[in-house]
Amino acid sequence: MSEDKHSKTEQPTARRLDEAKKKGNIPRSAEMTTTITLFTAIVTLYSSGGFMFSTLKNMSRDILSNIGTYEVTSAGAYSLMLKQFLILLIVLGPFVLIVMLAGIVSSISQGGLIFSTEKLAFDLTKLNPLNGMKKLLNKESAFQVLKSFVKIAIVGYVAYRILQQEVNDVIYLVERDIQGIVEFVSHLSYKIVLHTCGVMLILAVVDLAFVRWRFIENLKMTKQEVKDEHRHAEGDPQVKGKIKQMQFEQARRRMSKIIPTADVVITNPTHYAIALKYDRETMAAPVVIAKGIDFLAQKIKEMAREHKVMLVENRPLARELYATVKEGEPIPESLYAAVAEVLAYVYSIRGKV
Protein backbone atom coordinates (compact mmCIF):
# COMPACT_ATOMS: atom_id res chain seq x y z
CA MET A 1 0.00 0.00 0.00
CA SER A 2 1.43 3.38 -0.97
CA GLU A 3 2.03 5.88 1.79
CA ASP A 4 1.11 9.51 1.29
CA LYS A 5 3.01 12.53 2.49
CA HIS A 6 0.94 12.80 5.69
CA SER A 7 2.20 9.41 6.86
CA LYS A 8 5.80 10.68 6.89
CA THR A 9 5.80 11.99 10.43
CA GLU A 10 9.21 10.80 11.66
CA GLN A 11 12.37 12.90 11.65
CA PRO A 12 15.01 11.76 9.12
CA THR A 13 17.68 9.47 10.48
CA ALA A 14 21.39 10.28 10.38
CA ARG A 15 21.79 7.82 7.50
CA ARG A 16 19.07 9.56 5.46
CA LEU A 17 20.75 12.94 6.08
CA ASP A 18 24.17 11.56 5.08
CA GLU A 19 22.72 10.14 1.85
CA ALA A 20 21.20 13.52 1.02
CA LYS A 21 24.56 15.24 1.58
CA LYS A 22 26.35 12.71 -0.63
CA LYS A 23 23.88 13.57 -3.39
CA GLY A 24 24.65 17.26 -2.95
CA ASN A 25 21.27 17.99 -1.37
CA ILE A 26 22.19 20.69 1.15
CA PRO A 27 19.78 23.22 2.72
CA ARG A 28 21.43 26.36 1.38
CA SER A 29 19.66 29.67 0.90
CA ALA A 30 20.61 31.46 -2.31
CA GLU A 31 19.10 34.62 -0.81
CA MET A 32 21.51 34.48 2.13
CA THR A 33 24.55 34.03 -0.11
CA THR A 34 23.47 36.84 -2.43
CA THR A 35 22.70 39.23 0.43
CA ILE A 36 25.97 38.65 2.27
CA THR A 37 27.94 38.99 -0.97
CA LEU A 38 26.14 42.23 -1.85
CA PHE A 39 26.54 43.63 1.67
CA THR A 40 30.25 42.78 1.66
CA ALA A 41 30.66 44.45 -1.72
CA ILE A 42 28.93 47.63 -0.52
CA VAL A 43 30.92 47.86 2.72
CA THR A 44 34.19 47.20 0.88
CA LEU A 45 33.32 49.72 -1.80
CA TYR A 46 32.35 52.32 0.81
CA SER A 47 35.54 51.85 2.83
CA SER A 48 37.92 51.73 -0.14
CA GLY A 49 35.93 53.76 -2.65
CA GLY A 50 37.96 56.91 -2.01
CA PHE A 51 41.22 55.14 -2.71
CA MET A 52 39.83 53.45 -5.82
CA PHE A 53 38.35 56.66 -7.18
CA SER A 54 41.48 58.73 -6.56
CA THR A 55 43.71 56.06 -8.10
CA LEU A 56 41.57 55.82 -11.22
CA LYS A 57 41.40 59.62 -11.41
CA ASN A 58 45.19 59.89 -11.21
CA MET A 59 45.55 57.20 -13.85
CA SER A 60 43.23 59.07 -16.22
CA ARG A 61 45.00 62.36 -15.51
CA ASP A 62 48.37 60.76 -16.19
CA ILE A 63 47.18 59.37 -19.50
CA LEU A 64 45.67 62.65 -20.66
CA SER A 65 48.57 64.84 -19.51
CA ASN A 66 51.17 62.68 -21.23
CA ILE A 67 49.16 61.77 -24.29
CA GLY A 68 51.57 63.57 -26.57
CA THR A 69 54.60 61.68 -25.30
CA TYR A 70 53.40 58.15 -26.00
CA GLU A 71 54.93 56.31 -28.92
CA VAL A 72 52.28 55.27 -31.44
CA THR A 73 53.71 51.81 -31.97
CA SER A 74 52.65 48.31 -31.05
CA ALA A 75 55.34 48.17 -28.35
CA GLY A 76 54.25 51.54 -26.93
CA ALA A 77 50.58 50.57 -26.96
CA TYR A 78 51.41 47.25 -25.30
CA SER A 79 53.47 48.98 -22.60
CA LEU A 80 50.68 51.50 -21.93
CA MET A 81 47.98 48.82 -21.75
CA LEU A 82 50.10 46.64 -19.45
CA LYS A 83 50.72 49.57 -17.11
CA GLN A 84 47.02 50.47 -16.94
CA PHE A 85 46.07 46.82 -16.47
CA LEU A 86 48.40 46.48 -13.49
CA ILE A 87 46.92 49.62 -11.95
CA LEU A 88 43.39 48.27 -12.42
CA LEU A 89 44.47 44.95 -10.94
CA ILE A 90 45.86 46.69 -7.85
CA VAL A 91 42.72 48.80 -7.50
CA LEU A 92 40.00 46.25 -8.28
CA GLY A 93 41.78 42.98 -7.40
CA PRO A 94 41.33 43.17 -3.59
CA PHE A 95 37.71 44.26 -4.02
CA VAL A 96 36.86 41.34 -6.33
CA LEU A 97 38.77 38.89 -4.12
CA ILE A 98 36.95 39.99 -0.94
CA VAL A 99 33.56 39.74 -2.63
CA MET A 100 34.35 36.27 -3.99
CA LEU A 101 35.55 35.07 -0.57
CA ALA A 102 32.38 36.42 1.04
CA GLY A 103 30.23 34.40 -1.37
CA ILE A 104 32.27 31.23 -0.86
CA VAL A 105 32.34 31.52 2.95
CA SER A 106 28.61 32.24 3.05
CA SER A 107 27.85 29.15 0.98
CA ILE A 108 30.18 26.87 2.97
CA SER A 109 28.91 28.11 6.34
CA GLN A 110 25.38 27.00 5.46
CA GLY A 111 26.19 23.37 4.77
CA GLY A 112 29.90 22.72 4.70
CA LEU A 113 32.15 21.98 1.76
CA ILE A 114 30.41 19.16 -0.11
CA PHE A 115 31.55 17.89 -3.50
CA SER A 116 29.12 15.53 -5.17
CA THR A 117 29.72 13.97 -8.59
CA GLU A 118 26.14 12.73 -8.82
CA LYS A 119 24.80 16.04 -10.09
CA LEU A 120 27.65 16.21 -12.61
CA ALA A 121 26.88 12.75 -14.01
CA PHE A 122 25.68 12.69 -17.61
CA ASP A 123 21.95 12.01 -17.87
CA LEU A 124 20.10 12.03 -21.19
CA THR A 125 16.82 12.81 -19.45
CA LYS A 126 18.23 16.25 -18.57
CA LEU A 127 18.30 17.04 -22.30
CA ASN A 128 14.61 16.28 -22.69
CA PRO A 129 12.79 19.60 -23.25
CA LEU A 130 9.61 18.18 -21.71
CA ASN A 131 11.44 17.58 -18.44
CA GLY A 132 12.77 21.13 -18.60
CA MET A 133 9.24 22.48 -19.07
CA LYS A 134 8.05 20.44 -16.09
CA LYS A 135 10.74 22.04 -13.93
CA LEU A 136 9.65 25.51 -15.07
CA LEU A 137 5.95 24.85 -14.52
CA ASN A 138 5.95 23.02 -11.19
CA LYS A 139 5.01 24.23 -7.70
CA GLU A 140 8.63 24.88 -6.75
CA SER A 141 9.18 27.28 -9.67
CA ALA A 142 5.90 29.06 -8.96
CA PHE A 143 6.91 29.48 -5.32
CA GLN A 144 10.33 30.88 -6.29
CA VAL A 145 8.68 33.39 -8.67
CA LEU A 146 6.23 34.44 -5.99
CA LYS A 147 9.05 34.82 -3.47
CA SER A 148 10.98 37.01 -5.91
CA PHE A 149 7.96 39.27 -6.46
CA VAL A 150 7.45 39.62 -2.71
CA LYS A 151 11.13 40.48 -2.21
CA ILE A 152 11.08 43.04 -5.02
CA ALA A 153 7.90 44.60 -3.61
CA ILE A 154 9.35 44.91 -0.09
CA VAL A 155 12.72 46.24 -1.24
CA GLY A 156 11.02 48.62 -3.67
CA TYR A 157 8.77 49.96 -0.92
CA VAL A 158 11.78 50.60 1.35
CA ALA A 159 13.60 52.43 -1.46
CA TYR A 160 10.46 54.46 -2.18
CA ARG A 161 10.13 55.51 1.45
CA ILE A 162 13.76 56.70 1.55
CA LEU A 163 13.33 58.68 -1.68
CA GLN A 164 10.18 60.21 -0.27
CA GLN A 165 12.12 61.43 2.77
CA GLU A 166 14.82 63.00 0.57
CA VAL A 167 12.55 64.48 -2.12
CA ASN A 168 12.60 67.93 -0.55
CA ASP A 169 16.38 68.12 -0.81
CA VAL A 170 16.26 67.32 -4.53
CA ILE A 171 14.76 70.77 -5.20
CA TYR A 172 17.88 72.49 -3.84
CA LEU A 173 20.24 70.58 -6.14
CA VAL A 174 19.95 73.39 -8.70
CA GLU A 175 21.84 75.63 -6.26
CA ARG A 176 24.75 73.19 -5.84
CA ASP A 177 27.81 72.67 -7.93
CA ILE A 178 28.77 69.39 -9.58
CA GLN A 179 30.68 68.14 -6.53
CA GLY A 180 27.68 68.86 -4.30
CA ILE A 181 25.35 67.00 -6.64
CA VAL A 182 27.70 64.02 -6.76
CA GLU A 183 27.95 63.98 -2.95
CA PHE A 184 24.16 64.13 -2.59
CA VAL A 185 23.58 61.34 -5.11
CA SER A 186 26.29 59.24 -3.44
CA HIS A 187 24.78 59.80 -0.01
CA LEU A 188 21.28 58.97 -1.26
CA SER A 189 22.47 55.88 -3.12
CA TYR A 190 24.39 54.61 -0.11
CA LYS A 191 21.40 55.19 2.17
CA ILE A 192 19.06 53.32 -0.19
CA VAL A 193 21.47 50.45 -0.65
CA LEU A 194 22.22 50.17 3.08
CA HIS A 195 18.55 50.06 4.07
CA THR A 196 17.81 47.70 1.21
CA CYS A 197 20.56 45.35 2.34
CA GLY A 198 19.18 45.41 5.88
CA VAL A 199 15.74 44.38 4.62
CA MET A 200 17.28 41.75 2.33
CA LEU A 201 19.28 40.35 5.26
CA ILE A 202 16.09 39.90 7.29
CA LEU A 203 14.42 38.24 4.31
CA ALA A 204 17.48 36.03 3.83
CA VAL A 205 17.34 34.82 7.46
CA VAL A 206 13.66 33.97 7.03
CA ASP A 207 14.42 32.22 3.75
CA LEU A 208 17.25 30.20 5.32
CA ALA A 209 14.96 29.05 8.12
CA PHE A 210 12.30 28.10 5.59
CA VAL A 211 14.80 26.24 3.38
CA ARG A 212 16.05 24.19 6.32
CA TRP A 213 12.50 23.45 7.46
CA ARG A 214 11.49 22.33 3.96
CA PHE A 215 14.68 20.24 3.69
CA ILE A 216 13.75 18.30 6.83
CA GLU A 217 10.13 18.01 5.71
CA ASN A 218 11.14 16.51 2.37
CA LEU A 219 13.37 13.96 4.11
CA LYS A 220 10.87 12.91 6.75
CA MET A 221 10.18 9.19 6.94
CA THR A 222 7.31 6.89 7.74
CA LYS A 223 7.40 4.73 10.85
CA GLN A 224 8.01 1.68 8.65
CA GLU A 225 10.93 3.38 6.89
CA VAL A 226 12.52 4.16 10.26
CA LYS A 227 12.11 0.53 11.34
CA ASP A 228 13.62 -0.69 8.06
CA GLU A 229 16.48 1.77 8.50
CA HIS A 230 17.28 0.50 11.99
CA ARG A 231 16.97 -3.07 10.81
CA HIS A 232 19.38 -2.35 7.98
CA ALA A 233 21.83 -0.58 10.29
CA GLU A 234 21.72 -3.12 13.10
CA GLY A 235 20.98 -6.17 11.01
CA ASP A 236 17.85 -8.27 10.69
CA PRO A 237 17.29 -10.03 14.07
CA GLN A 238 16.45 -13.30 12.32
CA VAL A 239 19.57 -13.11 10.17
CA LYS A 240 21.69 -12.15 13.18
CA GLY A 241 20.23 -15.10 15.10
CA LYS A 242 21.07 -17.51 12.29
CA ILE A 243 24.61 -16.11 12.07
CA LYS A 244 25.11 -16.50 15.81
CA GLN A 245 23.78 -20.04 15.64
CA MET A 246 26.16 -20.89 12.79
CA GLN A 247 29.07 -19.34 14.68
CA PHE A 248 28.17 -21.34 17.78
CA GLU A 249 27.94 -24.57 15.79
CA GLN A 250 31.34 -23.92 14.26
CA ALA A 251 32.79 -23.18 17.70
CA ARG A 252 31.17 -26.31 19.13
CA ARG A 253 32.58 -28.52 16.36
CA ARG A 254 36.01 -26.97 16.83
CA MET A 255 35.89 -27.45 20.60
CA SER A 256 34.69 -31.05 20.24
CA LYS A 257 38.02 -31.74 18.53
CA ILE A 258 40.35 -29.82 20.85
CA ILE A 259 38.74 -30.20 24.31
CA PRO A 260 39.58 -33.95 24.48
CA THR A 261 43.26 -33.05 24.04
CA ALA A 262 43.27 -30.64 26.99
CA ASP A 263 45.15 -31.47 30.20
CA VAL A 264 42.81 -29.46 32.43
CA VAL A 265 39.86 -27.06 32.35
CA ILE A 266 40.09 -24.25 34.91
CA THR A 267 36.68 -22.90 35.99
CA ASN A 268 35.18 -19.94 37.86
CA PRO A 269 33.24 -22.34 38.55
CA THR A 270 30.02 -21.19 36.80
CA HIS A 271 30.85 -18.28 34.47
CA TYR A 272 34.35 -19.00 33.15
CA ALA A 273 36.01 -22.07 31.64
CA ILE A 274 39.54 -22.17 30.20
CA ALA A 275 41.02 -25.31 28.64
CA LEU A 276 44.81 -25.67 28.93
CA LYS A 277 47.19 -28.02 27.14
CA TYR A 278 50.87 -28.56 27.87
CA ASP A 279 53.38 -30.76 26.03
CA ARG A 280 56.87 -30.53 27.46
CA GLU A 281 58.50 -31.68 24.22
CA THR A 282 56.78 -29.25 21.84
CA MET A 283 55.62 -26.33 24.01
CA ALA A 284 57.63 -23.75 25.94
CA ALA A 285 54.61 -23.00 28.16
CA PRO A 286 51.00 -24.19 28.60
CA VAL A 287 48.64 -22.97 25.86
CA VAL A 288 45.02 -21.85 26.13
CA ILE A 289 43.29 -24.00 23.50
CA ALA A 290 39.70 -22.91 24.31
CA LYS A 291 37.90 -20.48 26.58
CA GLY A 292 34.37 -19.24 27.16
CA ILE A 293 31.96 -17.53 29.51
CA ASP A 294 28.43 -18.36 30.62
CA PHE A 295 26.73 -20.65 28.07
CA LEU A 296 29.92 -21.43 26.18
CA ALA A 297 31.71 -22.15 29.47
CA GLN A 298 29.01 -24.70 30.33
CA LYS A 299 29.51 -26.40 26.96
CA ILE A 300 33.29 -26.58 27.52
CA LYS A 301 32.75 -28.18 30.92
CA GLU A 302 30.22 -30.65 29.48
CA MET A 303 32.68 -31.73 26.79
CA ALA A 304 35.45 -32.00 29.38
CA ARG A 305 33.34 -34.32 31.52
CA GLU A 306 32.42 -36.42 28.49
CA HIS A 307 36.09 -36.94 27.63
CA LYS A 308 37.32 -37.37 31.21
CA VAL A 309 39.25 -34.05 31.28
CA MET A 310 39.71 -32.85 34.84
CA LEU A 311 37.93 -29.67 35.99
CA VAL A 312 39.77 -27.54 38.53
CA GLU A 313 38.08 -24.59 40.25
CA ASN A 314 40.29 -21.53 40.61
CA ARG A 315 38.34 -18.30 40.32
CA PRO A 316 41.18 -15.71 40.22
CA LEU A 317 43.21 -17.78 37.77
CA ALA A 318 40.21 -18.43 35.51
CA ARG A 319 39.39 -14.72 35.31
CA GLU A 320 43.02 -13.76 34.70
CA LEU A 321 43.49 -16.35 31.95
CA TYR A 322 40.27 -15.31 30.20
CA ALA A 323 41.12 -11.61 30.35
CA THR A 324 44.79 -11.75 29.32
CA VAL A 325 45.35 -14.80 27.10
CA LYS A 326 43.83 -15.38 23.66
CA GLU A 327 42.97 -18.81 22.31
CA GLY A 328 46.02 -20.53 20.82
CA GLU A 329 48.49 -18.40 22.79
CA PRO A 330 50.78 -19.53 25.66
CA ILE A 331 50.25 -18.20 29.14
CA PRO A 332 52.40 -15.24 30.31
CA GLU A 333 55.30 -15.73 32.70
CA SER A 334 53.35 -14.02 35.49
CA LEU A 335 50.98 -17.01 35.57
CA TYR A 336 53.58 -19.76 35.33
CA ALA A 337 53.55 -20.51 39.05
CA ALA A 338 49.75 -20.62 39.40
CA VAL A 339 49.28 -22.81 36.31
CA ALA A 340 52.19 -25.06 37.31
CA GLU A 341 50.50 -25.67 40.65
CA VAL A 342 47.25 -26.66 38.90
CA LEU A 343 49.03 -28.97 36.44
CA ALA A 344 51.04 -30.57 39.25
CA TYR A 345 47.79 -31.29 41.07
CA VAL A 346 46.24 -32.81 37.92
CA TYR A 347 49.29 -34.92 37.17
CA SER A 348 49.40 -36.15 40.76
CA ILE A 349 45.75 -37.23 40.59
CA ARG A 350 46.34 -39.00 37.31
CA GLY A 351 49.36 -40.70 38.80
CA LYS A 352 47.22 -42.05 41.63
CA VAL A 353 44.66 -43.31 39.11
CA 213, CA 216: separation in Å to the nearest integer? Answer: 5
Assess if residue 131 is contained within a domain: yes
Task: Give the chain's radius of gyration (CA, Å).
Answer: 41
Mean pLDDT calculated for residue range 200-219:
86
Residue 135 banded pLDDT, cuts 50, 70, 90? low
Record the pTM. 0.48
Q: Let me know whether 208 and 252 are in one domain.
A: no
Residues 93-122 have pLDDT tens digits of 888 899 899 888 888 887 766 665 555 555
Residues 6+ apart with CB under 8 A from 277: 258, 261, 262, 263, 283, 286, 287, 289
| Structural domain for 289, as ranges | 239-352
CA distances from 126 to 138, 141, 142, 194 (A): 16, 17, 20, 40
Angle (deg, nearest 10), helices 223-234 and 14-22: 90
Pick from 1-15, 80-94, 145-159, 168-182: least confident: 1-15
Tell me, what's the pLDDT at 68?
67
For residue 101, the surrounding DSSP H or E stretch is helix 74-111
Q: How many structural domains compose the chain? A: 2
* Per-residue pLDDT at 12: 83
Position 5 pLDDT exceeds 70: no
Q: Report CA-CA distances (Å) from 339 to 275, 345, 349.
A: 12, 10, 15
Does 221 share its domain with 259? no
pLDDT score of 352 = 46
Cα 86 from Cα 79, distance rounded (Å): 11
> Which of 208, 229, 250 corresponds to the end of one domain?
229
pLDDT range class, residue 70, cuts 50, 70, 90? low
Give the residue with greater pLDDT, 257 vs 167. Answer: 257
Task: For residues 153-169, give the mean pLDDT.
Answer: 82
Q: Looking at residue 353, what is its pLDDT?
A: 41
Residue 189 and residue 99: Cα distance in Å, rounded? 20
For residues 252 and 336, state if they share a domain. Answer: yes
User: Contact 145/51 with Cβ under 8 angstroms?
Assistant: no
Highest mean pLDDT among 66-70, 249-253, 322-326: 322-326
- For 260-322, the DSSP string reads GG-SEEEE-SSSEEEEEE--TTT-SS-EEEEEEETHHHHHHHHHHHHTTPPEEE-HHHHHHHH
Strand partners, 288: 276
User: What's the confidence (pLDDT) of residue 246?
Assistant: 79
Domain's final residue, options 170, 194, 229: 229
Domain boundary among the residues 196, 229, 262 is at: 229
Q: What percent of the chain has pLDDT over 70?
A: 85
In the beta sheet, which residues pair with residue 313?
267
Angstrom distance (rounded) from CA 27 to CA 209: 9
What confidence tier does 308 reach under pLDDT thresholds 50, 70, 90?
confident
